[in-house]
Amino acid sequence: MNTLINNDNKNAFNTDLDQNQANFTALSPITFLERAATVYPNRTATVYGNIKRTWQETYQRCLKLASALKKRAVNTGDTVSIIAANLPEHFEAHFAIPMCGAVLNSINIRLDAPAIAFILKHADAKALIVDKEFSQVTKAALELLDTKPLIIDIDDPTYEAGELIGDLDYEALLNEGDPEGTGFKVSDEWDAITLNYTSGTTGNPKGVVYHHRGAYLNAISNAISWAMNPHPVYLWTLPMFHCNGWCFPWTIAAMTGVSVCLRHVRADDIFNLIKSEKVGYFCAAPIVLNMLNSSDDTLKADINHKVNVMTAGAAPPASVIEGMEKLGFSVTHVYGLTETYGPSVVCSWHEEWDDKSLVEKAKLKARQGVRAPMLDGLMVANPETLEPVPKDGKTMGEIFMQGNLVMKGYLKNPETTKEAFAGGWFHSGDLAVWHPDGYAEIKDRSKDIIISGGENISSIEVEDVLYRHPLIQEAAVVAKKDPKWGETPCAFVMLKNDTSGITDKDIISYCREHMAHFKAPKNVVFGPLPKTSTGKVQKFLLREQADKL
Amino acid sequence: MNTLINNDNKNAFNTDLDQNQANFTALSPITFLERAATVYPNRTATVYGNIKRTWQETYQRCLKLASALKKRAVNTGDTVSIIAANLPEHFEAHFAIPMCGAVLNSINIRLDAPAIAFILKHADAKALIVDKEFSQVTKAALELLDTKPLIIDIDDPTYEAGELIGDLDYEALLNEGDPEGTGFKVSDEWDAITLNYTSGTTGNPKGVVYHHRGAYLNAISNAISWAMNPHPVYLWTLPMFHCNGWCFPWTIAAMTGVSVCLRHVRADDIFNLIKSEKVGYFCAAPIVLNMLNSSDDTLKADINHKVNVMTAGAAPPASVIEGMEKLGFSVTHVYGLTETYGPSVVCSWHEEWDDKSLVEKAKLKARQGVRAPMLDGLMVANPETLEPVPKDGKTMGEIFMQGNLVMKGYLKNPETTKEAFAGGWFHSGDLAVWHPDGYAEIKDRSKDIIISGGENISSIEVEDVLYRHPLIQEAAVVAKKDPKWGETPCAFVMLKNDTSGITDKDIISYCREHMAHFKAPKNVVFGPLPKTSTGKVQKFLLREQADKL
């Protein structure tokens, strides 16, 4: 590090000018809740069906939950897990649990019982809050544990199914707490605030630890990056278990906005809420945007205000962006990982792009982009030497991040933490090119790259061509071991509507027509693709299958 | 401090999860410049007459200035002073000087030679950048110094008068530097970034030290508080020497906005620039807004976009707010001190106030308000016990602030620093009431309060009544020693246009008609009021005069 300022030099500016209680406070997003409750006590904080709560009510419920947990012997550095839909209780947990000094662990609701059991055990959860929609899988997970955490039910009156499996109910626990609680003080902004397990396409999930400082800064980075209005109305389409909803619970508190909660991501609910609650902002995967695009025109009618959409996970195709723009929705493409508090890279828009054709715009927007306002470093570099690649839009390198939006590390995993931070940069594992304008564009996951005859082949590039084939519904490309070339691309393809008559030869020749021949798959396998609970294709299974062909 | 999180407890979340180069960066607003230059290199950063510079050019000029200063032996912890109008060079100094590890000291351009000499000596300035408009007073100040700093002229080609008094010219110094400089790294966000001397109505000015962390956070707090658009166009009506222009040089960099520079605050220039540059934001004292209100209608015509104004220093009267609103300008009232990075308190608006009458709105808006988004604590409390006063809108207390928007302390002044922070809160010296909705409203400076027969009399309240008298141009009220009452109010009044025939008795009886009799002045003195260089009435002189009556 090229340190121009050297603190070993005593000077007048660092003499008798120390930190004290008057001039220093640890950064924590919990302070946003306290401010919202005191400045705008009567503004709506959460909406869920007929339930509306103000910021003052929400703050008091959080104080009660925090003090009730403390009374139940949840202590500093303990984990409290939650498995729930995007409910107001889930929103409250983002504040109340860190307020008592504990660490929030929001569990992916799509996991199976063994995965949930692994997490509860690894995180050493002292308490678990369960939405009754997920009572069955949770019950099965708990049976796999020797020591069971305190189980707290969320008894959503609007949800008919599911059962109560807990020691007590969320509202009953709240009533054990003190609404006039002493509030909280975080003494060290480096203290953990949440724990998020990576979904991981192989092996056991890793526990990514966030701290108060990073959560505070990413919450603000979201607001600046999106240039949010005061009091934004935000719809909870993105799961809160996903990198803490990209830190948006804290962003919405900082902006004293409204959290419109949503149990299930359904087009009718989304459009109706956009209209009835005047939703201005939501985050969603491209697949959700696609669902909205293809939904009934009557649902789409009568939206007369601006709606801003943040999307990530895959580059949004031009058709999706076009559809959204026709609805008057403005799409921002972001990128990040669980390890970077969700989106830490943004395809920041340039006004001079406004006049480009839709195809060109979509191409520009499909790039992952540049560092978000509070990310301190971003580069595309050689994974071995950490030498930045030239900004030529062609040379492939790995994406590296640096600074306050990078996790504290992996829980109880010093070796993997060390590897992830080797050389003073966070290794994303994503392979990208760096365009002349400084925008990064992902080409592949590093472990998914195919090296054939010494040439790199991006599996994403081959998949893009396959997706353009009119009869292909889904496609994934992996490396297959090859005695001559080292590796060759092998395609796994699911066709639309039981299309028959199309052969592997047809697919291969289609690919050869649309890309360099060496990049075209040598093998094609038909059938459905194996996926993780979050919908990621499990390429390690496909690789095993490919090598057996 | 009620610390719920205790770091003496080792747990899994603070084991093997330390800070490192990958996951921690010191907060510094200089990073905003670097981001603006890399993400939006070709966007305009500064405009001054015909001179326009992009963010890339500005960044390169800053790198050059920083490296040139280092070559000239300006080192870590050294002070570099500047005395200049709101010029692009002044904007650049906010980045370039801290980039070389030095501390920026921007001097009030209205000071006299002895005051400037005092500051240069107290700050131990190693270099001084001088705008030729202020060459004469600077020359006189330098004659009072034994050791002279390196003098650098800003030779503004659009300014005819003044002379060059320096060792070299700003552009020549830049050319000694390296545009490919290594950039910078601040190793400790607690390091000083700037030094601002309080104007002070008595005694020597105090040197208020800001740090990188606070400057970063207040820059962002400004943007959030104002819910600024992306790429805001900001007009420099507020002097940059005033709390570093309330930290707006850094805000504008964070938002990749445009700084429209301005030598003199004149209505025609302001209106013309608002129209030609599509200015969306500016900060100004109420007196400037008054000047804009009363200027020619032809100047005001043809403004077709929204303009946001931030004002502080005195509560804006209803007539000023009304005039601004007629122009389509939206006024935000803020409050702060040099010690709190400028505005750290904001009269945050509530939508439910929209429907109130203009008089009611002005009354609500005249209040100082609530903590800004990144201020951590604000209270109105008993100055002795620090017990918060009841939120009854009546009980008077002192305003106290706490947290990251409070200065590092006073330079070379540990005793005064300690007093300012006594009890873990910054003592503002301003007396206020706390309204039931949590908004603070200033009633007086603590040293200006009049205690008559054991009752507090707010000098501001008496002045407000005097200002409503149709023949009074200016008024100030101070305590006069009194053998019976302890103190009594003494009014100093300047009448409009040599009005004759009005007597002290008329004024006193007018006051008695409009307020409690004990609050009415017992003495009235006619004549002009003594003021500081920043236009503050020098009440200590009036007090001396009153006691001699």
Q: How many CB atoms lie within 10 A of CB B258?
A: 24
pLDDT at res. B3: 36
- Comparing CB atoms, the residue among A38, A192, A401 nearest residue B13 is A192
Q: How far apart are CA A495 and CA A24, in angstroms?
A: 60
Residues 295-324 of A with CB under 8 A from B: none
Q: How far apart are CA B11 and CA B14, in angstroms?
A: 6
Q: Does B73 touch chain A (CB under 8 A)?
A: no
- The pLDDT-based confidence of A266 (bands split at 50, 70, 90) is very high
A29 in Cβ contact with A216 (< 8 Å): yes
Q: Does B183 touch chain A (CB under 8 A)?
A: yes
Average pLDDT rounded to a whole number, residues B289-315: 89
Least confident of A3-12, A92-101, B88-97: A3-12
Q: Three-state secondary structure along A39-100?
A: HCCCCEEEEECCEEEEHHHHHHHHHHHHHHHHHCCCCCCCEEEEECCECHHHHHHHHHHHHC
A-interface mutation test, from B17, B75, B332, most A Cβ less than 10 A away: B17
Residue in this structure with the two tokens 């907060």, named with its chain if needed: B27
Residues 145-174 of B with CB under 8 A from A: none
Q: Is residue A272 part of a domain?
A: no
Hey, are the CB atoms on A426 and B22 less than 8 Å from each other?
Answer: yes
A87/chain B closest Cα distance in angstroms: 26
What pLDDT digit, counting tens, does each position of A21-52 carry? 999 999 999 999 999 999 999 999 999 999 99
Q: How far apart are CA A489 and CA A481, in angstroms?
A: 9
Hey, are the CB atoms on B100 and A409 less than 8 Å from each other?
Answer: no
- The pLDDT-based confidence of A177 (bands split at 50, 70, 90) is very high
Average pLDDT rounded to a whole number, residues B455-483: 85
Hey, are the CB atoms on B192 and A224 less than 8 Å from each other?
Answer: no
What is the identity of the amino acid at A417?
Answer: T
Nearest C-alpha neighbor of B126 from the set B180, B91, B172, B82? B82
What pLDDT digit, counting tens, does each position of A353-368 carry? 999 988 888 889 989 9
What pLDDT digit, counting tens, does each position of B399-431 carry? 999 999 999 999 999 999 999 999 999 999 999
Hey, are the CB atoms on A17 and B408 less than 8 Å from each other?
Answer: yes
Please state the length of chain A: 549
What pLDDT digit, counting tens, does each position of A197-243 carry? 986 555 678 999 999 999 999 999 999 999 999 999 999 999 999 99
Q: Counting one residue from A and one from B, how many pairs have CB atoms under 8 Å apart?
A: 237
pLDDT at res. A315: 67
**What residue numbers bound the domain in which B533 lies?**
449-547
Q: Does B184 touch chain A (CB under 8 A)?
A: yes
Alpha helices in A369-521 (DSSP H): 414-420, 459-467, 504-514
Q: What's the DSSP call for residue A115?
A: H
Read off the CATH number of the domain in which A126 is found.
3.40.50.12780
ipTM: 0.88
A349/chain B closest Cα distance in angstroms: 10
Q: Is residue A162 part of a domain?
A: yes
Residue B322 has pLDDT above 90, yes or no: no
Residue B204 has pLDDT above 80, yes or no: no
- The pLDDT-based confidence of B31 (bands split at 50, 70, 90) is very high
Sign of CA dihedral A185, A187, A189, A195: negative
Residue A518 has pLDDT above 90, yes or no: no
What pLDDT digit, counting tens, does each position of A289-332 carry? 888 988 899 999 999 999 999 998 766 767 777 888 888 899 99
Q: Does B219 touch chain A (CB under 8 A)?
A: no
Q: Does A411 touch chain B (CB under 8 A)?
A: yes
pLDDT at res. A460: 82
pLDDT at res. A540: 84
Hey, are the CB atoms on B23 and A99 less than 8 Å from each other?
Answer: no
B328/chain A closest Cα distance in angstroms: 19
Question: B428-446: string of b/e by CB count within 10 Å (b at 16+)?
Answer: bbbbbbbbebbbbbbbbbe
Residue A368 half-sphere exposure toward CB, CA atoms < 13 A: 28
- The pLDDT-based confidence of A121 (bands split at 50, 70, 90) is very high
Please state the length of chain B: 549
Q: How far apart are CA A524 and CA A521, in angstroms?
A: 7
Q: Three-state secondary structure along B362-395?
A: HHHHCCCEEECCCCCEEEEECCCCCCECCCCCCC
Q: Is residue B283 part of a domain?
A: no
Nearest C-alpha neighbor of B399 from the set B367, B361, B425, B360? B425
Q: Is residue A246 part of a domain?
A: yes
pTM, full prediction: 0.89
Strand partners, B402: B377
A159 in Cβ contact with A263 (< 8 Å): yes
Nearest C-alpha neighbor of B262 from the set B254, B252, B273? B273
Residues 24-53 of B with CB under 8 A from A: 24-25, 27, 31-32, 35, 38-40
Torsion of CA A318, A320, A324, A327, to 10 degrees: 110
Q: How far apart are CA B247 and CA B11, in angstroms?
A: 39
- The pLDDT-based confidence of A4 (bands split at 50, 70, 90) is very low
Q: Is residue A438 part of a domain?
A: no
Q: What's the DSSP call for residue B423?
A: G
Q: How far apart are CA A80 and CA A149, in angstroms?
A: 9
Tokens of B537: 């009435």
| Chain A residues in contact with B4 (beta carbon < 8 A) | 70, 76, 99-101, 184-186
pLDDT at res. B1: 31
B361/chain A closest Cα distance in angstroms: 17
| Chain A residues in contact with B229 (beta carbon < 8 A) | 227
Read off the CATH number of the domain in which B468 is found.
3.30.300.30
Q: Which residue has the higher pLDDT, B9 or A239?
A: A239
Q: Is residue A10 part of a domain?
A: no
Residue in this structure with the two tokens 């808006």, named with its chain if needed: B365
How would you classify the pairing of strands A440-445 and A150-154?
unpaired
What pLDDT digit, counting tens, does each position of B144-153 carry? 999 999 999 9
3-state secondary structure of B470: coil
A236/chain B closest Cα distance in angstroms: 22
Tokens of A495: 């066709």
Residues 113-142 of B with CB under 8 A from A: 124
List CB contacts of A355: < 8 A, sequence separation 6 or more: none
Q: How far apart are CA A248 and CA A403, in angstroms?
A: 20
Nearest residue on chain A to B3, alpha-carbon basis: A185
Nearest residue on chain B to A99, alpha-carbon basis: B4
Q: Three-state secondary structure along A197-261?
A: ECCCCCCCCCEEEEEHHHHHHHHHHHHHHCCCCCCCEEECCCCCCCHHHHCHHHHHHHCCCEEEC
Residue B6 has pLDDT above 70, yes or no: no
List CB contacts of B329: < 8 A, sequence separation 6 or more: B307, B308, B309
pLDDT at res. A1: 31
| Chain B residues in contact with A426 (beta carbon < 8 A) | 22-23
Residue B7 has pLDDT above 70, yes or no: no
Nearest C-alpha neighbor of B189 from the set B171, B203, B210, B174? B210
Number of domains in chain B: 2
Which residues in B115-206 belong to E strands, given as ranges? Answer: 125-131, 150-154, 168-169, 192-197
B-interface mutation test, from A1, A3, A10, A17, most B Cβ less than 10 A away: A17
A129 in Cβ contact with A154 (< 8 Å): yes
Burial of residue B256, with CB atoms counted within 10 A of its CB: 0-12 exposed, 13-18 middle, 19 or more buried:
buried
Q: Which residue has the higher pLDDT, B8 or B58?
A: B58
Q: Does A388 touch chain B (CB under 8 A)?
A: no
A441/chain B closest Cα distance in angstroms: 15
Hey, are the CB atoms on B13 and A38 less than 8 Å from each other?
Answer: no
A166/chain B closest Cα distance in angstroms: 27
What pLDDT digit, counting tens, does each position of B255-295 carry? 999 999 999 999 999 999 999 999 999 999 887 888 898 88
Which of B240, B264, B288 delimits the end of a domain? B264
Q: Is residue A428 part of a domain?
A: no
Q: What's the DSSP call for residue A469?
A: S
Nearest residue on chain B to A222, alpha-carbon basis: B224
Average pLDDT, whole number, for chain A? 91
In degrees rounded to 5, what are phi and psi of residue B25? -135, 135
| Chain A residues in contact with B63 (beta carbon < 8 A) | none
Q: Which residue has the higher pLDDT, B533 or A136?
A: A136
Strand partners, B433: B396, B441
| Chain A residues in contact with B54 (beta carbon < 8 A) | none
pLDDT at res. A55: 98
Q: What's the DSSP call for residue B214?
A: H
Which of A246, A264, A282 delimits the end of a domain? A264
- The pLDDT-based confidence of B469 (bands split at 50, 70, 90) is confident
Residues 319-378 of A with CB under 8 A from B: 348, 350-351, 370-371, 373, 376-377
Return the top range by mean pLDDT from A254-263, A537-546, B451-460: A254-263
Q: Does B4 touch chain A (CB under 8 A)?
A: yes
Residue A6 has pLDDT above 60, yes or no: no
Which of A264, A280, A297 delimits the end of a domain? A264
Least confident of A287-291, B32-36, B162-166, B169-173: A287-291
Strand partners, B281: B234, B308
CA A219 to chain CA centroid, Å, is 13
Q: How far apart are CA B39 and CA B253, in angstroms?
A: 11
Residue B200 has pLDDT above 60, yes or no: no
Average pLDDT, whole number, for chain B? 91
3-state secondary structure of B318: helix
Nearest C-alpha neighbor of B133 from the set B150, B157, B116? B157
Tokens of A79: 């984990």
How would you classify the pairing of strands B207-211 and B307-311?
unpaired
Nearest C-alpha neighbor of B130 from the set B102, B103, B93, B158? B93
**Terminal CA-to-CA distance of chain B, rounded, Å?**
50
Average pLDDT rounded to a whole number, residues A497-517: 85
Burial of residue A387, with CB atoms counted within 10 A of its CB: 0-12 exposed, 13-18 middle, 19 or more buried:
exposed
Residue B164 has pLDDT above 80, yes or no: yes
A16/chain B closest Cα distance in angstroms: 6
Q: How far apart are CA B431 and CA B406, in angstroms?
A: 18
Q: Is residue A345 part of a domain?
A: no
What pLDDT digit, counting tens, does each position of A419-447 carry? 999 999 999 999 999 999 999 999 877 77
Q: How far apart are CA A442 and CA A313, in angstroms?
A: 11
Burial of residue B498, with CB atoms counted within 10 A of its CB: 0-12 exposed, 13-18 middle, 19 or more buried:
exposed
| Chain B residues in contact with A186 (beta carbon < 8 A) | 4-5
